[in-house]
Structure 1
Amino acid sequence: MTSRYTLSPKQKARRLAETIHEVWIDPASKGVFQRLAAAQGLSMRAALIQLLEQHAQIREPFSPRRPKPWTAVPADERVRYTAALPSVDVAPDVAMALLIDANRAGIRLTEATRQLVWRCIRSST
């Protein structure tokens, strides 16, 4: 016996990609990361996607964010996040890995992305 031909409510289409929105970072780190990407023939967006995908495989824990004691640092010497990394679309499992690991460390996705960029810079020098 065949099943009935019935209509069901419209299903929401699943997104094939998740967006990691732009992340503010210090200009020096952005410049170094941009040069590293260019040396490999990658755009900033492609390099960031590659970095996020590598994290989804490696899953090295993030460090909790430590507030800096601003009272000891003069205002003109503080590191400002005035440069932005581009927003990227990644696979849902890559975004979920980043989110889970960021939550475990008690940090936001933006801080997790910054830490990934800094790890990349450190490992290449």
Structure 2
Amino acid sequence: MAKKQKNKNGIDRPISFADNVNTVYGIIQSPLGQGQFVVECSDSIKRIAKVRGKDYKRVWIQPNDIVLLSLREGNNERADIEIKYMQKEIKILKDNGYIEDTFTNASNDNIKIDFDRI
């Protein structure tokens, strides 16, 4: 049996975009445990998001990752994590104007380093 070859360009799936009705983009802020995370969404609402069962142990999600969230009906404070975007996919999203640079740097605004004092 032949050995499985790695994908050389890094993207082997079509990119899914948010439709602004049922899905939004988000940045992972902090983990809560049990596959749940605090996520700051592109519509400036913080939600608790849960990794869907198919990706629960397959996709490693960390703070500052960009994800696509599926909103739950009837509960505006909760969402499901559909996709974790890779670096090349994030670059495509930024270049096409789906997410702004300020959105990806929003979580780092609280950190201020004065390099002149060092």
TM-score calculated relative to the size of structure 1: 0.23
Larger-Rg structure: 1
Which one has the bigger helix percentage? 1
Q: Which has the higher contact order (CA 8 A, sep 6+)?
A: 1
